[in-house]
Each structure stands twice: as structure tokens, then as C-alpha cells.
Amino acid sequence: MIVRRTESSLQLITQPDHAALARRIMDVWIADGLPDAPRRASIFHAVAEHDNGWRDVDQAPIVDDESGAILDFISAPLDVRQGIWPRGVARLAEDPWAAALVAEHAVFIYSRWRPNPDWTAFFVQMEALRDRYVAAAALTLEDLQREYLFLRVADLMSLAFCNGWTDVQRMGRYEIAMRGNAVSVSPDPFGGRTVPVEIEARELPVKKWTTREAAAALAAAPRVILRGVVSG
């Protein structure tokens, strides 16, 4: 779950909805040879489904028992953060290149935890899955790492918007930042176009929650549409 905080409320966005937004943004991306890429369909499939492992988890908020805070995808318990990736990759097994890209995504985004022994088994598992699907696609790890750029920048653009992140996010030669309701990407990958974006969130008050209360409140929560733009 993405938890976007305002002064008076929490705006909850599911990870699969964020991934779907990332996919829509990439429809307008014309840089780096993407429009003519031979594996474009699999790249777009990976972008759209990269967080499908959160689908079941995001049916209800995760609440910290001690503080009563609703936890987002960054602060969720370790077993949750690690467990969603093998499940998500398995759901893409019929598209090996998409599965390999999502496995690489899991390895990349958690790379800072590699020295931690609590993560050792995770990296062993995800790298084995990645390598299996790369081999099934009859391609190389170098091919994968080159095309992974598209998944990661799509992820960052959507995350910046959904979270309201104002810190600069970087991937390869690209810098991504949000000001107001506008996400900017430099250098411009859209050929001068401005991309309207919107996503649905469910709004809860800021308070101390229990797991049962939060689940019931989410089911009845008012839905709000967050709108903005992405541009170079």
C-alpha cells in the first residue's frame, strides 16, 4: 500500500493501481528506442504487473500494533516485503522476459540490504528466478539490465506522483522530481508532450488504528481522484 499523507488525512493507493499508472505513462515515452523495441510488449507487461504480488496484501491496511500507524510498502514487515516478489514473478511465468524484469526489479530496489543476513536467502532466490527466466527467453543478463531501465523509470515516475515525493529520484541518466501536482523528468523522454495522470485513492483520517478498524474503514472509505501531469 502507498500511504500519501496530508495534514488531515491518509490517502491509500494500492500497489497494483500504481503499477497500472506507470504503464499508462510509458505509452508516451519515445526515448531510448522504446517504441520500436523488439520486446516492447514484455517490457510493458512487466511495468503493468510489477507489483502484482501486493494484490492480496493490499486488500486491507497493515497496521503497526504498537503505534497504531498504517504501514506503507516501505515500512511493511520484512516477511511481507520479501514474500510478494516470488509470488509476483510466478504470475508472469508465461512471459519469461517480463518475469525476468520483475525479478531484476526486486534485486535492484532492495540492493542496499544485501549485506544484511536477513536478506541473504531473498537475494539467492530472486537471482535464481531472474537467471532462470533470462535463460528461458534465450537472452542475456546484459540485455536484461539494459531494458530494466524502462521498468525502473516507470516505477519512479508513478511513485513520485502517488507519494508526492519532492526529492529527486535518479535512474540512469534520468532525474525525476515532483513540484505541486507536476512530475518532471530530465532529460525529456516525451518529445515535448505533457502527460495527464490520475489515480484513485481511498481516504482515511489520521488517527491510531487497530487492524480490524482499519480494514472496516477502508471498505467504506470515500474515494478521491488525484490528478496531475508528467512532463519533460
pLDDT, one tens digit per residue, over 160-181 is: 999 999 999 999 999 999 999 9
Q: What is the pLDDT of residues 83-138, one digit of tens each?
A: 999 999 999 999 999 999 999 999 999 999 999 999 999 999 999 999 999 999 99
Mean pLDDT of the chain: 97
Judge whether residue 216 has pLDDT over 90: yes
Q: How many residues does the chain have?
A: 232
Q: So what's the pLDDT on residue 218?
A: 96
C-alpha span between 223 and 12 (Å, rounded) = 9
Q: So what's the pLDDT on residue 206?
A: 94
State how many domains the chain has: 1
Cell numbers for 84: 510478494
Q: So what's the pLDDT on residue 8?
A: 87
Judge whether residue 60 has pLDDT over 90: yes
C-alpha span between 36 and 83 (Å, rounded) = 34
Q: Which residues contact 170 (CB under 8 A, 6 or more apart)?
A: 176
Judge whether residue 7 has pLDDT over 90: no
Judge whether residue 70 has pLDDT over 90: yes
Model confidence, pTM: 0.96
Q: What is the pLDDT of residues 18-40, one digit of tens each?
A: 999 999 999 999 999 999 999 99
C-alpha span between 225 and 232 (Å, rounded) = 23
Residue 52 contacts residue 91 (beta carbons within 8 Å): yes
Q: Which domain holds residue 152?
A: 2-231
Q: So what's the pLDDT on residue 214?
A: 97
Q: So what's the pLDDT on residue 132?
A: 98
C-alpha span between 186 and 175 (Å, rounded) = 5
